[in-house]
């Protein structure tokens, strides 16, 4: 996520640079044809364009709404993981405190960090429909680095899991799921050895269900894109609209200069104004698009690396550890 005050207009213009080139060309063509070739019949009525504009507002509004909803839900899910981690943490610690089992407590805590790690690596894997290969984002992504792209999962997991468990987990299809299954096996073993009462086991098992819930919800957002037919029709309509706008404005700008010192030249104002209008609609759509996949590694992602670290700090602080890792901070305003 962007953790600063705002994106500047300059950043927006750079980010949509190539869109601006394209939109300019679209505006230049009819203007030249109208002015130099006398194709004045190109100045179609504004009437169908305006209606299309209203429909486009609805469509983009709808898409941005859904997109914001996906981003916000993704953040809620990771917020939920924070909350359950804290509850689960104090329960593990306090249920076992009178049992001389502090080593098990530590193993379970660190295995939890392993789960967080596996989950964030899985969520940051690429999907066909994601936008990180768009030139816009490739370029912008040079401003920050994505830990899950540069680190190796086995190295990170090795900090949290025993060698045996690490080897075991690396053979599994869905690593996060099976790490959590190890947690379940561990607490059941503790219960079978009478270190946990049946009720305590139930409370902890509920915690595990909650983790699975949140993991599954995050995977749902990851694996189920904003429906492609909704997305495609919006693009098609938008492209149609930005194509038509410069034609629809021709007439107005041609007449604008009549009787003034720019008579005969006012038609050229069509270019900046059409560009302005189409750029605004186009950029709105791009903004919406760039939040639909909140785990793709973009500048507008949910900061899951940061959140996972926060959980690790909070939980190790619960055990009164002293060498807590540093919080993850924004790089060029971007927090991942």
DSSP class of 329: -
Residue nearer to a copy of itself on the CB measure, 146 or 206: 206
Residue 325 in contact with a copy of itself, rule: CB under 8 A: no
**Total number of residues shown for the chain:** 336
Nearest distance, CB of residue 35 and a copy of itself, angstroms: 13
Q: Which of 109, 113, 121, 253 binds a copy of itself (CB under 8 A)?
A: 253
Residue 209 in contact with a copy of itself, rule: CB under 8 A: yes
Residue nearer to a copy of itself on the CB measure, 57 or 162: 57
State how far the Cα of 194 lies from the Cα of 99, in Å rounded to an integer.
Answer: 10
Which class for 80: exposed (0-12), middle (13-18), buried (19 or more C-beta within 10 A)? middle
Span between the terminal Cα atoms of the chain, in Å: 6
Stretch that binds a copy of itself, among 25-33, 109-117, 142-150, 189-197 (CB under 8 A): 189-197
State how far the Cα of 46 lies from the Cα of 146, in Å rounded to an integer.
Answer: 46
Are the beta carbons of 87 and 207 closer than 8 angstroms?
A: yes
DSSP class of 261: T
Q: Which of 32, 166, 237, 328 binds a copy of itself (CB under 8 A)?
A: 237
Residue nearer to a copy of itself on the CB measure, 135 or 224: 224
Nearest Cα neighbor of 153 from 131, 175, 134, 132 is: 175
**229-255 burial, b for 16+ CB within 10 Å, e for fewer?**
eebeebeebbeebbebbbbbbbbebbe
Residue nearer to a copy of itself on the CB measure, 102 or 202: 202
Q: Which of 17, 62, 102, 143 binds a copy of itself (CB under 8 A)?
A: 62
Q: Which of residues 94-113 bind a copy of itself (CB under 8 A)?
A: 94-95, 97-98
Number of residues that bind a copy of itself (CB under 8 A): 129
Residue 141 in contact with a copy of itself, rule: CB under 8 A: no
Nearest distance, CB of residue 54 and a copy of itself, angstroms: 6
Q: Which of residues 270-309 bind a copy of itself (CB under 8 A)?
A: 273, 276-277, 280-281, 283-284, 287, 290-291, 300, 302
* DSSP per-residue letters across 166-220: HHHHHT-SSHHHHHHHHHHHHHHHHHHTTSS-HHHHHHHHHHHHHHHHHHHHHHH
Nearest distance, CB of residue 188 and a copy of itself, angstroms: 4
């Amino acid at each position: 996520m962007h953790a600063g005050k705002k994106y500047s207009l300059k950043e927006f213009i750079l980010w949509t640079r190539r869109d601006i080139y394209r939109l300019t060309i679209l505006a230049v063509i009819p203007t030249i044809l109208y002015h130099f070739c006398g194709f004045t019949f190109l100045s179609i009525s504004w009437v169908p364009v305006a209606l299309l504009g209203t429909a486009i507002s609805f469509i983009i509004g709808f898409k941005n709404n859904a997109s914001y909803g996906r981003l916000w839900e993704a953040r809620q899910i990771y917020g939920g993981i924070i909350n359950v981690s804290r509850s689960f943490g104090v329960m593990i610690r306090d249920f076992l405190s009178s049992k001389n089992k502090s080593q098990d407590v530590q193993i379970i805590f660190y295995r939890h960090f392993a789960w967080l790690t596996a989950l964030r690596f899985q969520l940051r894997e690429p999907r066909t429909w994601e936008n990180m290969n768009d030139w816009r984002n490739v370029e912008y992504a040079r401003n920050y680095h994505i830990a899950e792209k540069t680190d190796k999962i086995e190295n990170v997991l090795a900090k949290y899991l025993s060698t045996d468990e690490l080897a075991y987990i690396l053979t599994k299809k869905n690593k996060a799921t099976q790490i959590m299954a190890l947690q379940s096996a561990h607490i059941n073993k503790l219960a079978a050895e009478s270190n946990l009462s049946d009720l305590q086991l139930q409370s902890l098992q509920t915690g595990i269900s909650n983790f699975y819930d949140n993991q599954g919800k995050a995977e749902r957002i990851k694996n189920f894109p904003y429906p492609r037919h909704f997305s495609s029709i919006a693009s098609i309509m938008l492209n149609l609209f930005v194509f038509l706008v410069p034609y629809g404005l021709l007439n107005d700008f041609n007449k604008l200069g009549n009787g003034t010192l720019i008579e005969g030249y006012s038609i050229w104002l069509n270019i900046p104004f059409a560009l302005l209008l189409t750029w605004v609609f186009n950029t709105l759509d791009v903004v919406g698009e760039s939040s639909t996949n909140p785990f793709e590694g973009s500048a507008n992602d949910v900061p899951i690396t940061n959140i996972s670290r926060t959980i690790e700090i909070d939980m190790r602080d619960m055990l009164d550890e002293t060498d807590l890792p540093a919080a993850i901070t924004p790089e060029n305003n971007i927090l991942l």
